[in-house]
């Protein structure tokens, strides 16, 4: 992170069915720095750092893991770190 970047966090509640669609929407937004998925108790299930330019094949394994998490978790929270310059 450079000195000129401001990072802010946003939280979104989800139900299992909406997890994948919300993640895809956030990734395509382009200014996401990190995505953290937490269960209902607040325990971190997966933490995905999103570096600049790494949206293609390098993130595919994490998306597969998200699919498995979505099948198991009925409710939780998506924490998104966004960069605002």
What band does 42 get if pLDDT is binned at 50, 70 and 90? very high
Q: Which of 3-17, 44-58, 59-73 has the lowest mean pLDDT?
A: 44-58
- Mean pLDDT value of segment 9-30: 83
Percentage of residues of the chain with pLDDT beyond 70: 81
Domain boundaries, the chain: 6-84
- Mean pLDDT value of segment 10-21: 85
Residue 78 has pLDDT above 50, yes or no: yes
- Mean pLDDT value of segment 51-60: 59
- What 66-73 contacts at long range (C-beta under 8 Å, 24+ apart), as own/partner pairs, is 66/19, 66/20, 66/23, 66/37, 67/20, 69/19, 69/37, 69/45, 70/16, 70/17, 70/19, 70/20, 71/16, 72/16, 73/16, 73/19, 73/37, 73/39, 73/40, 73/45
- Mean pLDDT value of segment 4-32: 82
The domain 6-84 is placed in CATH, from the list 3.30.1490, 3.30.360, 2.60.40, 3.40.50, at 3.30.1490
């Amino acid at each position: 992170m450079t000195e000129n970047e401001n990072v802010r966090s946003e939280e979104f509640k989800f139900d299992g069915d909406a997890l994948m669609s919300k993640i895809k929407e956030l990734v395509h937004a382009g200014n996401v720095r990190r995505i953290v998925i937490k269960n209902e108790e607040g325990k971190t299930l997966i933490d995905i750092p999103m570096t600049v330019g790494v949206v293609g094949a390098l993130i595919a394994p994490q998306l597969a893991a998200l699919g498995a998490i979505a099948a198991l978790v009925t409710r939780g929270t998506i924490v998104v770190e966004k960069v605002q310059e």
